[in-house]
Structures are given as structure tokens and as C-alpha cells.
Amino acid sequence: MTKNSIGLIGCGAMGSALVKGMVTMGDVDPGTVYLYDISVDRKNQVAAEYRCNTAASLEDFIPHCKKIFIAVKPQDIDGLLASLKPLVHPGQIYISVAAGITINYIESCLLPGTKVIRLMPNTPCLIGEGAIVISAGDLVTEDERSEIESMLKPLGTTIRMPEKLMDAATGLSGTGPAYVYLFIETMIDAGVSVGIRRDVASKLVIQNVIGAAKMLDSNTQHPAELRNIVTSPAGTTSAALLTLEEEGFRSCLIKAVMEATKRSEELRFG
Ligand SMILES: NC(=O)c1ccc[n+]([C@@H]2O[C@H](COP(=O)([O-])OP(=O)(O)OC[C@H]3O[C@@H](n4cnc5c(N)ncnc54)[C@H](OP(=O)(O)O)[C@@H]3O)[C@@H](O)[C@H]2O)c1
């Protein structure tokens, strides 16, 4: 184990997505990565899949790691930080994905002066199409922040935001894929309602979402401009859009994101 080893605590959905992205899509050497999870089966399974090392205990690997990713549920963070405290040494960077757990709180539970970065990823990180919001504590240098961003690049787009917007980032982006899935699911049902076979409706709707997103990603036009292009006078799109406005589509979505943000604030710790 070298002084530059990478540790990851919690090999569940998000932890394994981080490992996968960094070692299979990025250029992190799996031989430098040490995985730990209280579920031995899960740890062994993820380590075998991505050819990483396993650690039998926190004492085994934390003192040797420069960067340590924390990917346990928020309710498990207190016990974990207490166990980490005696193992922390200066120069390490702790990178947490735990929703609602502030940088300040993590710093205060570890050694004074510990460097902490907070991430809000989302599940498309699993296929390298995630959106990852990053906030860094005051003690993290620009070089260190850039190095972590480069490591995360294979998982998707990284976006820097001040920590005070982390709850908003959770409501909009951490939770975002769920809104898109609900939209897709509903559109497929709508296709079936107007007589299209479910499998065909599914293909059409998914391609619509991919195509529309790629159009937006590949040019600088506002979504409203692209929408106007497909809305002919007294046409089908205009009839559909009027119904969506009457039924409160936009206000419903805005309220949903505001509610998710509020919920994230309620769960906040520290
Ligand atoms: N999933 C998402 O879409 C998403 C998006 C953004 C952020 N996040 C954040 O990512 C974090 C992890 O979420 P997840 O969905 O990946 O959870 P998960 O699938 O439950 O994975 C967490 C893993 O950590 C293990 N664990 C619990 N306490 C531990 C400890 N003290 N030491 C080592 N391992 C421990 C758990 O074991 P047991 O199951 O045996 O307890 C489990 O294997 C959360 O804080 C969440 O807020 C998740």
C-alpha cells in the first residue's frame, strides 16, 4: 500500500458507481484502491468486479490513504466518523457523497484541519452520464479540488457550487433522474392510451428524450426556442402545450423540486 492509495467506505449503489467510474472508465489503477464495507459479501463482490483490494478494517487502510471516499447512508455517518477520527492524518482528503451532511460537520467530527469535499452525484454516474455537484471545504487547495474533479470526470459532468446550494442541487439533480423516469413512464402510458403498443411506445419515448437532450446539449439555444420551432400555428403541439399549461405542468414540476429541496434541508445535519 502506498501513501497515495485511495480508500472507499461503503460499496452500495453510489460507492460501486464511484469505483466503476474511476477504474473502468477513468485512469485510476485498481491496485491502488482499497474497499471497505460492513457487508463483507458486498465488499468482496465489488472488489472482484473491478479488481480492487479489500480491507478487513478501517485501521488496515485509512492510515495509508491520501483520498478517502465516504459512501454510506447519512444515518450511518456518525458511527463511521467516530471510528475514523483516531485514524485521520493531515494531508488526507475526505470526499463524502452523504446527502445532507455538511462539510463543517464532517470537519468537526474528524481531526481539526481535515480537508473535506462534498459531492452530490446522481445514478447515471453508473454509465458515465452523471451530474456531480462539488463543494469543497476552505482547507482544500485548488490543485486538490481539480485532481478530484479529474478523477470523477469519467462518471459524468462535474459542476462546482457553493455548499449553501447543496440542498437545491439534491432537489434538482440528485433526485432529477426520478423525475425524468416518471415523465418517461407516463409518456409510455400515454402512447398506449392512444393505441401504440407498449414496447413501441417505450422506444419512441426514450428516443424522444435522448434526442431532445442531445439537441440542447449540442447547441446554445434555449429550450423554449427549440419548443417554438416544433409548435406550428393551430397545430398538434400547440394543442398539447395548452393542455399542459392548463393542468399546471410547469408549476407542478417547480413545486416538486422545491419540496425535494425542503426535504433535503430537513434532513440536513450539522
Ligand atoms: N443512490 C443514489 O442515487 C444517491 C445519489 C446521491 C447521493 N447518494 C448518497 O450516497 C450515499 C450512499 O447511498 P447508497 O444508495 O449507495 O447506499 P447503500 O446502497 O445502502 O450503500 C451503503 C453501503 O454502506 C454500508 N455501510 C453502512 N455503514 C457502514 C460503515 N460504518 N462502514 C462501512 N460500510 C458501511 C452499507 O452496508 P449495510 O447495507 O449492511 O448497512 C451499504 O453496503 C448516501 O449517503 C446517499 O445520500 C446516493
pLDDT at 3: 63
- Find the 54 Cα to ligand 1 centroid distance in Å: 17
Q: What is the pTM of this model?
A: 0.90
Residue 171 located in a structural domain: no
Task: For residue range 87-115, list pLDDT tens digits in order.
Answer: 999 889 999 999 889 999 999 999 889 99
Residues 25 and 94 in one domain: yes
Residues 239 and 183 in one domain: yes
Domains: count for the chain: 2
Residues 42 and 126 in one domain: yes
Q: Is the pLDDT of residue 205 over 80?
A: yes
Residues 158 and 208 in one domain: no
Q: Is the pLDDT of residue 270 over 70?
A: no
Residue 217 located in a structural domain: yes
Residues 194 and 90 in one domain: no
Task: For residue range 54-80, list pLDDT tens digits in order.
Answer: 999 999 999 999 999 999 999 999 999
Pocket of ligand 1 (CB under 6 A): 9-15, 36-39, 42, 71-74, 76, 79-80, 97-99, 120-123, 174
- From 72, 105, 125, 173, give the residue whose CB has the most ligand 1 atoms within 8 Å, as the site to mutate: 72
Task: For residue range 114-150, list pLDDT tens digits in order.
Answer: 999 999 999 999 899 999 999 999 999 999 999 999 9
Banded pLDDT at 226 (limits 50, 70, 90): very high
CATH number for the domain harbouring residue 193 = 1.10.3730.10
Residues 88 and 106 in one domain: yes
Atom 43 of ligand 1, residue of closest alpha carbon: 12
Banded pLDDT at 2 (limits 50, 70, 90): low
Residues 148 and 31 in one domain: yes
Residues 44 and 66 in one domain: yes
Residues 70 and 158 in one domain: yes
**Residue located via cell numbers 488496515:** 60
pLDDT at 219: 83
Domain span holding position 194: 176-267
Where do runs of H (alpha helix) occur along the chain? 13-20, 40-50, 58-61, 77-84, 103-109, 142-152, 166-169, 176-193, 198-218, 223-229, 236-246, 249-267
Residues 231 and 206 in one domain: yes
